[in-house]
Structure 1
Amino acid sequence: MRFIEEIVVEEFLPTFRSMLAADLRDRGFTQSEVAEALGISQSAVSKYAHGDVGQREEFLEDERVQELVERVGEGLADGTMTPVQGLVETEVLIRKLERGDLLATIHQREMPELAEYGSEFDIHDSDSEFRTAERVLSSLRRGLRVLENASGFAGLIPNVGSNLVACTPDATSIDDVAGVPGRIVDIKGRATVPSEPEFGVSEYVASVLLAAREAGAEVNAAANIRYDAELLARLEELGHETAEFESEDGVDASVAAALADDPTATVLYQTGSYGIEPIIYILGDDAVAVAETVRELV
């Protein structure tokens, strides 16, 4: 794991400072004057002068970096720019290069996992697709830990397996819903999560969640467990509104019809039919809340 700030500190700044030190020396600055202007030691300036500091080619060749070096160097030399102003100008360029630009590209190369979010994302943007997705996955992982540690949860897993899913705030498709690949299964009486959660791997549970949201339910997560009349009664005791839906007409239409009858329902269920296993679906604000509801049933 490498932070974009590490690239800035370890590669951009040494390259930029060495370029600026060379520019100032060309303008007649002494080694001590360069050190004072850049706020570094004379020994550091000496290392820059002798090529003892590594430079990254992408920064050396970038016209914007070259232009900034020339502009700051000229400003420091003729007194029209203070070191603080030079610092601010440099910070502005760094922030620009971090937002879907050169620094972001280098970061993605060194952290390939970031590539799926495209080259335009800003890792510092709290509302970016990247951070939104990571928050969903983080909540889902916490919810899965709740289920794994819930003694007796394996007994609630239906034959088709269980899944815990969560979606992004503006989810419109299965690709916006994260879940467990292969579902959660009962192996010798123990609930087993086969792999890390991912987006786009759940079909039916994700479809129920999306259908509920489309019908107006303010929910962001869902889980499925086996159907049992006693479990349904227990959920009602816990304060959940329940609604039955038939899947023969399609998930979207069936869930919409069920929620039309009871818009406040947070538990949807189907009693099954030929080739369809009876299932209970628990909906909630997030994956942890749904998992905690399931835990109360065991």
Structure 2
Amino acid sequence: MSLRLPSEIVVERFLPTARAMLATELHDRGFTQKEVADRLGLTQAAVSKYLRGDVTVEDRFAEDERMQATMAAIADGFADGSMDGYETLSELLDLVRAFEDRGPICAVHEEEMPALEGLGCDLCVRGTDDAVLAEREALAAVRRAARRIANEPGMADHVPNVGTNVGTAVPDAADATDVAAVPGRLQAVNGRVVVPADPEFGASQRVAETIRAAMAADPQVRGALNLATSERLLDAARERGIDPVEFDADYDERGDRLREHFRERGAVPRVAYHEGAFGIEPVTYVFGETATEATALAVDLVESTRGE
């Protein structure tokens, strides 16, 4: 009996096909061979080989609509700066997992290892760890949110002097280590927002405390970010039918006081703020089911304040 691991199919068939397709997509978008090589971690000679078609591609992968859509999305992300290497890897791994779930990788695997044929093999997809999946989703939500904040014009004007952070908690978060945020906070530098690092769990005690207070009232609200409090921002919220909730700025027992506010209200507001205190800068929190959703609302509010 021949013995072939699914990972061999990925390395020997999927990866060359993906590289060839990506190289072509990027070249079609005006990338030079050197730029393509830098993006894909290849030599320029290797890129030239891919572009000439001097590599064997697996048609079952190349002709799959999911593969074509993913390669185009990655190329678009590289072209407009909305996707980095980490996110590209995430997209590719998601595609591999989909192809391993009775998809074209399975078809090639069965062909090369006939003993699997007709067994309905699920070795690649069974035993998913829900906790690990939830952590990945939380990190991905924060990463997307931080990138959008950094790319959105005008956001730097609403970053507090202490910086902005954005977070997402896993379901049933017990403490700050269950909340993903950006280490070191996002800072406004020369009119733009700088993201200092990839998100990590336990990176922000303050954002974690705020999100966990929201989750105590509504477990679905697991995302939040902070901005500088301003009348422009609060008015933009009110114009959208959002009633911002004011709370005490003091740090002592802030989480408990927020929980009390949310319980009295019967729901978590989309926007909550304080006016600051001695040594405490005024801050507004925007909430959502994830960091991505909270950031979408924050961007919408910021866009409404332009030109005022």
**TM-score per shorter chain, which class?**
0.5 to 0.7
Aligned counterpart, 2:223 = 221
Aligned ranges 1:232-243 → 2 under 5 Å: 232-243=234-245
Aligned counterpart, 2:279 = 275
Aligned counterpart, 1:258 = 261
Structure 1 residue 217: deviation in Å? 5.7
Partner SS state of residue 136, structure 1: helix
1:168 pairs with 2:187:
no
Name stretches of at least 5 consecutive residues in structure 1 with no aligned partner: 11-82, 99-122
Aligned counterpart, 1:77 = none
Aligned counterpart, 2:7 = 6
Partner SS state of residue 138, structure 1: helix
Distance in 2 (CA, whole Å) between partners of 1:246 and 1:258 is 10
Structure 1 residue 240: deviation in Å? 2.3
**Which TM-score applies when normalising by structure 2?**
0.57
Letter in 1 for 2:255: D
Structure 1 residue 208: deviation in Å? 0.6
Distance in 2 (CA, whole Å) between partners of 1:262 and 1:250 is 19
Structure 1 residue 178: deviation in Å? 0.6
Structure 1 residue 124: deviation in Å? 4.8
Out of 292, 303, 307, which is 1:288 matched to?
292
Aligned counterpart, 1:139 = 141
Distance in 2 (CA, whole Å) between partners of 1:125 and 1:281 is 38
Aligned ranges 1:14-93 → 2 under 5 Å: 87=116
- Which protein is bigger by CA-based radius of gyration? 1
Does the CA contact (< 8 Å) of 2:171 and 2:219 recur in 1?
no
Does the CA contact (< 8 Å) of 1:205 and 1:223 recur in 2?
yes
Partner SS state of residue 295, structure 1: helix
Does the CA contact (< 8 Å) of 2:246 and 2:273 recur in 1?
yes
Name stretches of at least 5 consecutive residues in structure 2 with no aligned partner: 12-112, 304-308
Aligned length: 196
CA-to-aligned-CA distance 1:123-179 (integer Å, 9 cap, x gap): 754452222211121222222222112101000000110011111122121111111
Distance in 1 (CA, whole Å) between partners of 2:142 and 2:189 is 21
Letter in 1 for 2:216: E
Aligned counterpart, 2:206 = 204
**RMSD after superposition:** 2.8
Distance in 2 (CA, whole Å) between partners of 1:283 and 1:193 is 20
Distance in 1 (CA, whole Å) between partners of 2:10 and 2:259 is 53
Letter in 1 for 2:282: P
Structure 1 residue 199: deviation in Å? 1.0
Structure 1 residue 89: deviation in Å? 12
CA-to-aligned-CA distance 1:56-105 (integer Å, 9 cap, x gap): xxxxxxxxxxxxxxxxxxxxxxxxxxx98x6489988x94xx7xxxxxxx
Aligned counterpart, 2:40 = none
Q: Decide whether aligned partners of structure 1 residues 131 and 235 sit closer, same or farther in structure 2, where only a CA change above 3 A counts.
A: same
Distance in 1 (CA, whole Å) between partners of 2:127 and 2:153 is 39
**Which TM-score applies when normalising by structure 1?**
0.59
Partner SS state of residue 245, structure 2: strand
